[in-house]
Amino acid sequence: MTQDSPGIEAVAYFIEKARRAVPPALRYPAYRAYWLGTLASVSGFQMLTFSLLWVTYELTNSPLFLGYVGAVNAIPAIALNLFGGVFADMFDKRRLIIACQLITASLIFVLAVMTMFDVLHIYYLLLIAFLAGAVNAFDQPARQALYPHLIDRSAIMSAVSLNSAIWQGTRIVAPAIAGGIIAYLGTSISFFISGVGFVTMALVTVALKIPEIQRGGSGNPARDMLDGLKFILSNSAFSFLIGMTFFNSFFGMAYIFMMPIFSVDILKVGADGQGVLMGVSGAGALATTMVLGSVGNFRQKGLMLIGGATAFGLALMLFGLVAQGYPSYYLVMGIMLFIGIFNSIYMISIMSSLQMMVPNNMRGRVMGFYGMTWSIMPLGGMQGNWIANYLGAPIAVMIGGLAVAGFAVGPALLNKQVRNISALVNQVEHAVSARPQQPQRTASAGD
């Protein structure tokens, strides 16, 4: 028995080491199931986007209609996101997610059947894209409001990072899979597989064991939405975090919509070169999210947020400056890596800070406002290209970077609450940890 004990101790040591290597959020079975379901759903979404644009161009051979598809999908998301947040607070989040996932899957299956029998008209496609965008406006706030209840608060940054990693990873992989399926099996099969991803998320959500979640709202959607807006505006920390997301979407990410100008006219590397540049940025963002997802809570969120946003803005300005004065492809490639890294650092800090500070009865509405700021990204691309048309793409990107860095530094210098956002988050965390046992722990006990 004594001779066996060193071997047993070694096995126990490696088991414990392997357990600690698992990202903190994935140690909770309920979140693990949710994460895998989200992976299937987001993969389906990325494949749907690729397939929609592909079949649109097949039907119309018009770049104009590609813009229309994006517009009709984004407009209901912008218009209805706030109502989606109200509904997420008012109703059972689990049932709302199941309903949204199944409705979206049904729309995709209709699209697949129409494509298979060659009866799809461009106006049917635009209608389905519009309806899918409207449903997504209710789905996203509910999902953002649900997953913090599946983990302990100490794992929130890990969960935010892992959710972000899904979006970063599938943005690289899923379109390639969709392209292969379309090439060998047809567009209708790509649509069917996309729909299966949404059905998978619905089934996972049905099986989730979720603690009772406090609901909020008066039952009057307009009044509840106004209450959510008042809550954000009355708290400078929340206003700053939501404002940072707006500046990131409207000014910071506008460079994506100008990349063809840099690739073709300035760097002269063509579509392949543009793909490499975007891939490098995506790889930097994905690596950062995976690193942050593997660590526990990071207490200096204010430093990560303001420092990361400032560095992201400066990296964009450097990108524009290099493209304007010394258009070196490899130098720009290195800058793109840091653009992806810094953007992930501060956006994950924003999301984890919001999730930790927002009260449960307001979570859906705050996430609705947060989601709306992401939905305006195509409008940011329009303003960026408008500036590029008159001043040139490098100047437009530099202006966007200056706006992001300026909004990060300005409020931090002028507002004490913004400067002390780390202390605010830690204060909330200490207050919650001082309470009796939380439902989240009950829901995710025992690995």
Contact 346, 305 (CB under 8 A): yes
* Nearest C-alpha neighbor of 344 from the set 274, 306, 288, 388: 288
Question: What is the phi/psi pair of residue 217, to 5°?
Answer: 105, 160
Tally of CA atoms within 13 A in the half-sphere of 18 that contains its CB: 6
**Dist CA 290 CA 286 (whole Å):** 6
* Residue 121 zone, left/alpha/beta (φ > 0; ψ -120 to 50; rest): beta
Query: Domain 231-435 adopts which CATH fold?
Result: Growth Hormone; Chain: A; (1.20.1250)
pLDDT in tens, the chain (447 residues): 445 566 666 555 455 555 566 888 888 999 999 999 999 999 999 889 888 888 888 888 876 777 788 778 888 888 888 888 888 888 888 999 999 999 999 999 999 999 999 999 999 999 999 999 999 999 998 998 888 888 887 788 888 888 888 887 887 788 878 888 888 999 999 999 999 999 999 999 999 887 777 666 666 777 888 888 888 888 777 888 888 888 988 899 888 888 878 888 899 887 678 778 877 888 888 888 878 777 655 566 667 788 889 999 999 999 999 999 888 899 999 999 999 999 988 888 888 888 877 877 788 888 888 888 877 887 788 788 888 888 998 999 999 999 999 988 887 676 666 666 666 665 555 544 454 444 444 333 333
Note the pTM of the prediction, 2 decimals.
0.75
Q: Domain ranges in the chain? A: 28-212, 231-435
In 3D, which of 239, 260, 253 has the Cα closest to residue 285?
253
For residue 295, what pLDDT is reported?
65
Domains 28-212 and 231-435 equal at CATH topology level: yes
Per CATH, domain 28-212 is 1.20.1250.20: yes
The tokens of 260 are what?
Answer: 């063809």
Q: Exposed, middle or buried, 226 (CB in 10 Å: 0-12/13-18/19+)? A: middle
Taking the alpha carbons of 42, 43, 49, 55 in that order, is the dihedral positive or negative? negative
Rg for the chain, CA atoms, rounded: 23
pLDDT score of 15: 52
Helix/strand/coil (H/E/C) assignment for every residue in 198-245: HHHHHHHHHHCCCCCCCCCCCCCHHHHHHHHHHHHHCCHHHHHHHHHH
